[in-house]
Amino acid sequence: MIRQALQASGIDAHLRIATDGEDTIKYFDQVDADPSAPCPDLILLDLNMPRYKGSDILRKLRASARCANALVLVVTSSDLVRDREEMTALGANGYFRKPSKFGAFMQLGVIVRDLLATKPDDP
């Protein structure tokens, strides 16, 4: 559904899908170790990934030598105020609560498009 939402908003993106938090942490470690590896423009981060919490992953990302400034949109089923506050304090750029209706989920593409529009052009 994420791919559909992006396509519906005209976003042509290369997606790298991490299977769990450990895979995500390894990816950031690899990018930090390889100066030729591109950093992602935007990360869609689930709060409840297996093996690591989303907050742990966001902390790791913000400490990254190369990708600390990547945009992060939290995508989660949680609507708890404390989750929103924690992720904002850790540097999330947005928070999208996954709705139960397909049409409402498609708004994710609009949010991603708008968030990417805030990213400064690379020099």
Residues 7-25 have pLDDT tens digits of: 999 998 888 999 899 999 9
Categorize the per-residue pLDDT at 80 as very low, low, confident or very high, splitting at 50, 70 and 90: very high
- pLDDT over 80 (residue 121): no
Asked if CATH classification 3.40.640.10 holds for the domain at 2-116, the reply, yes or no, is no
Q: DSSP letter at 41?
A: S
- Around Cβ 65, how many Cβ atoms within 10 Å? 10
- pLDDT over 70 (residue 77): yes
Mean pLDDT computed over every residue of the chain: 92
CA distances for 30 relative to 27, 37, 67, 78, 85, angstroms: 5, 8, 11, 30, 29
pTM, 2 dp: 0.90
CA distances for 117 relative to 14, 43, 78, 110, 111, angstroms: 17, 14, 26, 11, 10
- pLDDT over 90 (residue 98): yes
User: Which pLDDT value is given to residue 102?
Assistant: 92
User: Which pLDDT value is given to residue 84?
Assistant: 95
User: Which pLDDT value is given to residue 123?
Assistant: 47
